[in-house]
Homo-oligomer: A and B are copies of this chain.
């Protein structure tokens, strides 16, 4: 029989911290879980593996979280909140809509490929593993996040006459950005800034 060989994982101190995914006991669980969920999938990760990466027994996880699914939910909630805040910071620091769009692209590229990589990927790819009620709880946050994009694209459309609908435009961009998780290597020749520049050109229809 073919045996599924889970990817070898780093040690916990190689997994970056952000927000409440910090170095507290609780934060260590979230970081380990985010990493494993990204690499092996939510269903493909056991609570024992999470505990083992943290360096505790699996039973101890349940002192911090009611269930495995609550760990997933917490990872997702935290990354949306953290990323939204970063996003709002970024667009608040520039004035033109072109610059705001670039700020959004950069901000999302960093979310997907920087320290929040694990959690952000999990947010995107493991949505269906959430319970319905937790999906509902997060939907408002996700929608607010998306609306920021659509609003800025709307303004740009008014100014530039770009033909496509802001909603579609947003989706093409987010697709391209999300997809970078499947191929972008931090230590390759292309930097995230290069990437952002290219995507901005694509978005604005410049050759």
Using CB atoms and an 8 Å cutoff, list the residues of chain A in contact with chain B.
1-5, 7, 39-44, 66-67, 69-70, 125, 128-129, 131-134, 160-164, 168, 171-180, 183, 190, 195, 198-199, 201-202, 204-207
Contacts and interface: CB of A to CB of B under 8 A. Distances in A.
B164 A175 contact: no
Given A41-B43, A171-B179, A131 B5 contact: yes
B43 A161 contact: no
A175 B161 CA distance: 25
B41 A160 contact: no
B207 A207 contact: no
Nearest to A4: B131
A164 B198 contact: yes
A27 B166 CA distance: 41
B179 A175 contact: yes
A77 B173 CA distance: 29
A207 B162 contact: yes
A54 to B, nearest CB: 20
Contacts of A131: 2-5
Closest 10 CB pairs of A and B: A175-B179, A43-B43, A205-B207, A2-B131, A175-B176, A172-B176, A175-B175, A176-B176, A2-B69, A43-B44
A69 to B, nearest CB: 5
B128 A41 contact: yes
Contact of A133 (B2, B161, B205, B206): B2
Contact of A179 (B1, B66, B178): B178
Contacts of A69: 2, 4
11 contacts: A1-B67, A2-B70, A2-B134, A4-B69, A5-B131, A5-B132, A164-B201, A171-B179, A172-B199, A175-B180, A176-B179
Contacts of A44: 43, 128-129
